[in-house]
Chains A and B, each alone.
Chain A
């Protein structure tokens, strides 16, 4: 076994005093090759840290590929719960020979590198503490079954890092048990390598870096979950009865989540029959078509997709808006245009979705910014869609949807289901008349009846063509105008049902306000701390829905300068705000960055600082 300590011999020993240690605050990047089982190893590290009470989140930067291309998995531990991507890496694990040179180049002096010693790390970056890992030797000694060997090499770094940082091996064991759902054989095999690697590190490496893990209680009661699973659970607790979908990264795991939990949660206790249908459609057009058909017939219907699917759904989205059919569409955004970067995150669909459909179309949008909201909007979207009788788009993204985030456990829906203005046969008997698109209440929301309602007054003819109050075909200009005006009135009413923005501000407003939404929130959260440290206090507003509510206008009016932070090229949310509040347009400054990699707090802080100096 090769036991030399590469890259540390020339430096003086740097074993730290406790006051020089950096506890529970670092970013680990693991550079591996996709399809090699690195997910098991990374999850084991992540879960162990989380269960030791260390606030963590993770990001997987993966290729659009099945096997053999580079993947970087980041774990950020942060006692202050700063969960944006970190610009600097403190601990790098080099397992991929093809990328190690560029991976190494990102390290700053003082950071740490664990590397598989079968490839040469030369020259060492100055000041970087390098630990070799005899990956092949350790795996050989542990001698797992040959066919599994390639999948288990990654457990070596788990063992070495656990030893060097002070992660309890018992927590790694528990994490593996969770990962393999209690199946002892893979747990034992993987743990065998972890133990071997930890032992090797104990005997052969001397700690020279400051990074340590110590048990804490900052994750007590919390959960670690991804946004797509959260959304799937939300939908199921929202009474989902029909889902149609077509496979697409990064949205597929939302449908997977629905399929995983339905058998357990949504079977009729008497007959054991399913109370929700899920259909994998032949394309996204069919997926939304089925969901609209189901929504029209009275189901709580949804579909989940990403940008290319949204493009295909445009015509049907306009139909559902105009025929006033409730349906929920999850758009887990990825980088476009076109196929773009299918495994990279973006907030590029905001404008497109807002006006999805030709002609005069306005769509209602919800914008979750964390796991709890992915769950909450998962159920609330149905209430809003049925209340307003319109499509509700929930815009998540790859960063929220596919990465694991720390969260408070989800709150059970605190309101009964709102099925909206639906008239039964008994209602029709009592009322004695019915016109599908009549604005009886003056709020723009008409009453509807569901197909199968057995009353001669109930039937109506849903259509994408011009129609009068009774849903009959009409080309009359006045009828058309009246109907569109009612739809616009309905969109005004919609504001009442939108989740309010989240505000952070003192009693008197600062000069600078920052507006953010969705997955870019952690970067802004961190940036505000950095800016405050630099002497620039800021106020904060997070938009959670479109159409906008009054709080947003007030916030804009009471600040001198507003920065709208987002991940798209042209500041799409800023444009929507400028359209809504044209007299405030010049105050709204756009800070955008859109390269597929999520924003960092430092980038946001620097961008605000630079803009303030101009």
Chain B
């Protein structure tokens, strides 16, 4: 689509733009920001009805660089999930994108990461994963490869945390991995995540061009390009659109999303069913052993209730309730007082 085109709510791509990025030239995070803007434009999301929440770090700066017409909250390190949970419970009509990094999620924030998944709060949880602390000038993160070399810290002796495996283990119902060098897939996964009713985790390998882009690093562009192994070709067909692409029989797996959209997973090299949790764990283990960058929708389970459903909340956003629904009538207090006499 050209920038002059408007989407279904008569907005142009410009309406989804952010402030100029201050991240390094070529940073994977900038590419992801572009795909968030593109996904939201194509999904015709009203920017003011979307919130961008983040923690601390290079990744967490990036919400400033997309969708200036959306509300944002750049909070404290590792605590994006709690801020997001409160905000989306307070106003259930909001769409929410959380941006985190590997330090923000896999180190200081691993507790909140696991617990937002346990609650299944509606949030697109993007981890911009580069295996390194950039803002503090290049320390190993918890997702750094064992044996990874860094300029200042030397060799990393510890095994990495696999964010997707942690997500599957925590019963997350939407677990995806992608690569910042694969913009189309990133965009389609974000679109699918935006219509998922609970927490959707997308672990995106997003190279740090300054501190961790040596060809042998599994978080580098070169390595990603050489080793990316797509599980399938992902296309989200929104509710309003007709499915126009024709697929041959058995060629595509169609996943119905909560709002009636269809996620089309076109088979590539292998047969893979993202509904199988054991298969997902096995896939991740094999990918680790073979050092492959397996991308696509790794696990999908629409059955777990979202936090909104569990809370049994009124459909009007809590933030918009009129006073008379907030303050019980005087006679109720009198009745309670009688109980304490």
Q: B341 and A452: CB pair below 8 A?
A: no
Q: A297 and B91: CB pair below 8 A?
A: yes
Closest residue on chain A to residue B330 by CB atoms: A412
Proximity bits, B223-246, A CB within 8 Å = 1, else 0: 000000000000000000000000
Q: A294 and B340: CB pair below 8 A?
A: no
A509 in the interface (beta carbon within 8 A): no
Which residues of the other chain, B, contact A268 by a CB distance below 8 angstroms?
314, 325
Q: Which of B63, B83, B326, B337 contacts A461 (CB 8 A)?
A: B63
Closest residue on chain A to residue B77 by CB atoms: A315
Q: Which of B112, B119, B334 contacts A279 (CB 8 A)?
A: B119
A64 in the interface (beta carbon within 8 A): no
A458 in the interface (beta carbon within 8 A): yes
Interface hits, B46-89 → A, CB 8 Å: 46-49, 51, 53, 63-64, 68-76, 79, 81-89
CB of A308, distance to nearest CB on chain B (Å): 16
Q: A275 and B314: CB pair below 8 A?
A: yes
Specify which of A291, A296, A323 lies most central, judged by the most chain B CB atoms within 10 Å of its CB.
Answer: A296
Which residues of the other chain, B, contact A244 by a CB distance below 8 angstroms?
82, 86
Q: Which of A240, A274, A297 contacts B312 (CB 8 A)?
A: A274
Q: A452 and B312: CB pair below 8 A?
A: no
Q: Say whether, besides A291-B86, A451-B51, A464 and B75 are in contact (CB < 8 Å).
A: yes
B115 in the interface (beta carbon within 8 A): yes
Q: Say whether, besides A271-B315, A273-B314, A319-B75, A456 and B48 are in contact (CB < 8 Å).
A: yes
Q: Give complex CA distance A116, B326 in Å.
A: 52
Q: B82 and A281: CB pair below 8 A?
A: yes
Q: A298 and B320: CB pair below 8 A?
A: yes
- Which of A19-27, A186-194, A222-230 lies on the face that meets chain B? A222-230
CB of B64, distance to nearest CB on chain A (Å): 6
Q: Chain B: interface residue count, which band?
A: 35 or more
Q: A298 and B323: CB pair below 8 A?
A: no
Closest residue on chain B to residue A226 by CB atoms: B340
Q: Give complex CA distance A282, B114 in Å.
A: 10
Q: Which of A294, A416, A454, A472 contacts B87 (CB 8 A)?
A: A294
Q: A294 and B90: CB pair below 8 A?
A: yes
Q: Which of B94, B119, B333 contacts A451 (CB 8 A)?
A: B94
Proximity bits, B290-333, A CB within 8 Å = 1, else 0: 00000000000000000100011111011111010111101011
Q: A456 and B332: CB pair below 8 A?
A: no
A293 in the interface (beta carbon within 8 A): yes
Q: A459 and B70: CB pair below 8 A?
A: yes
B147 in the interface (beta carbon within 8 A): no
Q: A277 and B318: CB pair below 8 A?
A: yes
Q: Give complex CA distance A452, B87 in Å.
A: 11
Q: B314 and A261: CB pair below 8 A?
A: no
Proximity bits, A508-546, B CB within 8 Å = 1, else 0: 000000000000000000000000000000000000000
A417 in the interface (beta carbon within 8 A): yes
Q: Give complex CA distance A294, B76 in Å.
A: 15
Q: Say whether, besides A223-B340, A293-B73, A238 and B86 are in contact (CB < 8 Å).
A: no
Q: A279 and B321: CB pair below 8 A?
A: no
Q: Give complex CA distance A236, B69 in Å.
A: 34
Q: Which of A222, A242, A459 contacts B86 (CB 8 A)?
A: A242
Q: Say whether, besides A239-B326, A289-B79, A459-B68, A223 and B314 are in contact (CB < 8 Å).
A: no
CB of B47, distance to nearest CB on chain A (Å): 7
Q: Give complex CA distance A450, B71 in Å.
A: 8
Q: A417 and B63: CB pair below 8 A?
A: no
Closest residue on chain A to residue B340 by CB atoms: A223
Which residues of the other chain, B, contact A241 by a CB distance below 8 angstroms?
90, 318-319, 321, 326
CB of A467, distance to nearest CB on chain B (Å): 10
B288 in the interface (beta carbon within 8 A): no
Which residues of the other chain, B, contact A454 by a CB distance below 8 angstroms?
46, 48-49
Q: B71 and A271: CB pair below 8 A?
A: no
Q: A461 and B74: CB pair below 8 A?
A: yes
A286 in the interface (beta carbon within 8 A): yes
Q: B91 and A451: CB pair below 8 A?
A: yes
Which residues of the other chain, A, contact B82 by a CB distance below 8 angstroms?
244, 281, 285-290, 293
B289 in the interface (beta carbon within 8 A): no
Q: A279 and B85: CB pair below 8 A?
A: yes
Q: Give complex CA distance A453, B319 in Å.
A: 11
Q: A299 and B319: CB pair below 8 A?
A: yes
CB of A424, distance to nearest CB on chain B (Å): 10
A445 in the interface (beta carbon within 8 A): no
Q: Say whether, besides A412-B333, A461-B74, A417 and B318 are in contact (CB < 8 Å).
A: no
Which residues of the other chain, B, contact A282 by a CB distance below 8 angstroms?
111-112, 114-115
Q: B64 and A473: CB pair below 8 A?
A: yes
B19 in the interface (beta carbon within 8 A): yes
Which residues of the other chain, B, contact A464 by a CB distance below 8 angstroms?
74-76
Q: B336 and A459: CB pair below 8 A?
A: no
Q: Which of A274, A277, A417, A459 contacts B69 (CB 8 A)?
A: A459
Q: Say whether, besides A223-B340, A298-B90, A463 and B326 are in contact (CB < 8 Å).
A: no
Q: Give complex CA distance A300, B326 in Å.
A: 10
Q: B313 and A456: CB pair below 8 A?
A: no
Which residues of the other chain, B, contact A294 by a CB distance below 8 angstroms?
86-87, 89-90, 318
Q: Give complex CA distance A424, B112 in Å.
A: 32
Interface hits, A235-294 → B, CB 8 Å: 236-242, 244, 261, 264-266, 268, 271, 273-277, 279, 281-283, 285-294
In the complex, besides A236-B328, A452-B317, A461-B63, 8 extra interface pairs with C-beta distance below 8 angstroms are A274-B312, A279-B119, A291-B86, A459-B47, A459-B71, A461-B74, A462-B71, A463-B72
Query: Which residues of B approach A to under 8 Å, CB–CB?
Result: 19, 46-49, 51, 53, 63-64, 68-76, 79, 81-91, 93-94, 111-112, 114-115, 119, 307, 311-315, 317-321, 323, 325-328, 330, 332-334, 336-337, 340-341
Subset of 21 A-B contacts with CB under 8 Å: A240-B326, A271-B315, A273-B313, A286-B112, A289-B75, A293-B73, A294-B86, A296-B73, A296-B87, A299-B90, A299-B319, A323-B73, A410-B337, A451-B87, A452-B91, A453-B48, A458-B48, A459-B47, A459-B71, A460-B72, A462-B74
